[in-house]
Structure 1
Amino acid sequence: MQNPILIIAVPLVLVMALRFFTTTTALERRVVILGWLIPGAGHLLVGQRKRGLILGGLVIVTFLAGMFLSDFRNISPFDRHPIWAVAHLFGGLVSMLAAFFTRHLYIEEMNPFYDVGCLYSGVAALLNIIVVIDAYDFAHERSEETAGETTE
């Protein structure tokens, strides 16, 4: 039996991606993709250096705190915790690298901070969505300003 989360999520993501790539400017696409891969990098691309460093640092430090608390065993594969696996996808390269380098680690005995670590890293990955949306908003404003200048 297939995972119901994937049955719902895959078509939704495809529709959203199609709309994203057909209705946005090149700057907006670069900001979103770079901001997703590297937390805070989208802000750096639109000139929001301080904001990008603070928000990106917050996401990465929160994610790493979760990794430390759970003894680096909190990146969940789809077969064990499908919802957390989907949440970690939004963490970008940080989550992907953590998943790659910790895939061989198994939980031998329960660490008392395991659940807290899972929560920290999952929330950090989901927080990255908000950071990306904020960077997109700056890019969208810049695109509207340049479009307004060319029409005048």
Structure 2
Amino acid sequence: MAFGTLDGDDDEVMSEINMTPLVDVMLVLLIIFIITIPVINHAVKIDLPRATNTPNDPKPQNINVSIDAAGKVFWNQVEVDQATLASNIALAAQQQPQPELHLRADREVRYERVAEVMAAAQHGGLGKIGFITEPKQ
């Protein structure tokens, strides 16, 4: 039995796949998709509510308090004495929202001096104290 030969015997069964119906079905599906896609993408018209937003309150500036090896206290790089330190802390505690106190202490300073500054901050009303350190090299 020969496949796809035209030798004149019409009694033999032709066993090739007929592609014409498959192409017809694919063309019909293509036309259906071309027609239905614009309908699917139709958006619903909605009148959305309008809203206004207010910007968040700006964060206050951080206060840098430094203590050098001799025990001198610096408020934002300006040397202050104990009375000035207490008055500056009281003024900073009245700000809303309260600023953070960033405490930088020299490695050689006595812990007692650091504890005095922390106690002054606590008595003055500052609740947020952060210790600033440098990483090991």
The structure number with the bigger radius of gyration is 2
Structure number with the higher strand fraction is 2
Question: Whose helix proportion is higher, 1 or 2?
Answer: 1
TM-score after normalising by structure 2: 0.21
Q: Which has the higher contact order (CA 8 A, sep 6+)?
A: 1
